[in-house]
Amino acid sequence: MAETSLSSAIRTTGVTRDFKSGQQTITVLHGIDTEIRSGEMTFLVGESGSGKTTLISIMCGILYPTQGEVEVFGTDIYALDDTDLVNFRLENIGFIFQQYNLIPSIDAASNAAVPLIAQGMDRLEAREKARAILEKLNIGEQADKLPSQLSGGQQQRVAIARALVHKPRLVVCDEPTAALDASSGRRVMDLLRDVAVAEDRACIIVTHDNRIFDLADRILVLEDGCITHDGTEMPDGH
């Protein structure tokens, strides 16, 4: 069983990413070789502009690399056609990004239920499952409210519920505790560990929040588009 818990969830090989800025080409990632293991909560840490969001976007099939390969649960995701890649993401990956991307015209429960509805589940059943996740996040009483009626922290928890409701094998989070107080942040992290970390699942968290560094199984530090540290604790000087 121990071997299974350390199996590869994501493997990147020689991943680079360039962006055009006028006549210039800016390289944001420089040949990233790394592995995210199932059964672990991996933190990705680095200064703004170090390439963290670019890297997780490539890891979960949102942004194509300029060069290199990305395997997610053994599938070379950038060898898939567009339709298969969308379906792969829908079935296997939950996203929690800094921009919550909630649909303004539907209530919190319906927003959280979107992945289940997209998979074909009956809308009422999907809403009930979404409500259960919202309850765990202590915002069940907000389930019938529109995003505009929610605070920033409440909107963030709806976005977290949406990412977890279909029990994806990989959960990718960009600053999931940024808008939350210490108590709410811990509650969210506990839920992420309960739902997103198992022998066949993995969780990647981009964060600057030093209040939660102790919860990481593994910490990767990204500096100027290169991984400079891979360990169980933050290195000195960070």
Please report, rounded to a whole number, the percentage of residues in the chain having pLDDT higher than 70.
96
pLDDT at 4 over 50: no
Give the pLDDT band of residue 127 (cuts 50, 70, 90): very high
pTM for this structure?
Answer: 0.83
Question: How high is the mean pLDDT of the chain?
Answer: 89
**Are 76 and 69 in contact, with CB atoms under 8 Å apart?**
yes
Are 56 and 98 a contacting pair, CB within 8 Å?
no
Per the model's pLDDT, the better-predicted residue between 100 and 134 turns out to be: 134
Q: What pLDDT does 2 receive?
A: 34
Q: Find the mean pLDDT for residues 193-216.
A: 84
The pLDDT score that the predictor gives to residue 238 is 58
Write down the domain spans for the chain: 1-99+170-238, 104-168
On the question of pLDDT at 200 being above 90, the answer is no
DSSP string for residues in the chain: -HHHHTSEEEEEEEEEEEEEETTEEEEEEEEEEEEEETT-EEEEE--TTSSHHHHHHHHTTSS--SEEEEEETTEEGGGS-HHHHHHHHHHHEEEE-SS----TTS-HHHHHHHHHHHTT--HHHHHHHHHHHHHHTT-GGGTTS-GGGS-HHHHHHHHHHHHHTT--SEEEEESTTTTS-HHHHHHHHHHHHHHH-BTTBEEEEE---TTSGGG-SEEEEEETTEEEEEESSPPTT-
In the predicted model, what is the mean pLDDT of residues 93-107?
89
Which range (73-77, 106-110, 171-175) has the least confidence?
A: 171-175
For the segment 211-227, the average pLDDT, to the nearest whole number, is: 92
Provide the pLDDT confidence category of residue 237 given band limits of 50, 70 and 90. Answer: low
Q: What is the distance between the alpha carbons of residues 83 and 11, in angstroms, rounded to a whole number?
A: 22
- The CATH-assigned architecture of domain 1-99+170-238 is 3-Layer(aba) Sandwich (3.40)
Q: What is the pLDDT of residues 41-84, one digit of tens each?
A: 999 999 888 999 899 999 999 999 999 999 999 999 999 999 99
Residue 40: closest CA among 222, 216, 227, 235? 216
The pLDDT confidence band at residue 17, using thresholds 50, 70 and 90, is very high
Ramachandran quadrant class, 225 (left: phi over 0; alpha: psi -120 to 50; beta: rest): left
Interval 138-157: pLDDT, tens: 899 999 999 999 998 889 88
Going by C-alpha positions, the residue among 12, 69, 14 that lies closest to residue 37 is: 12
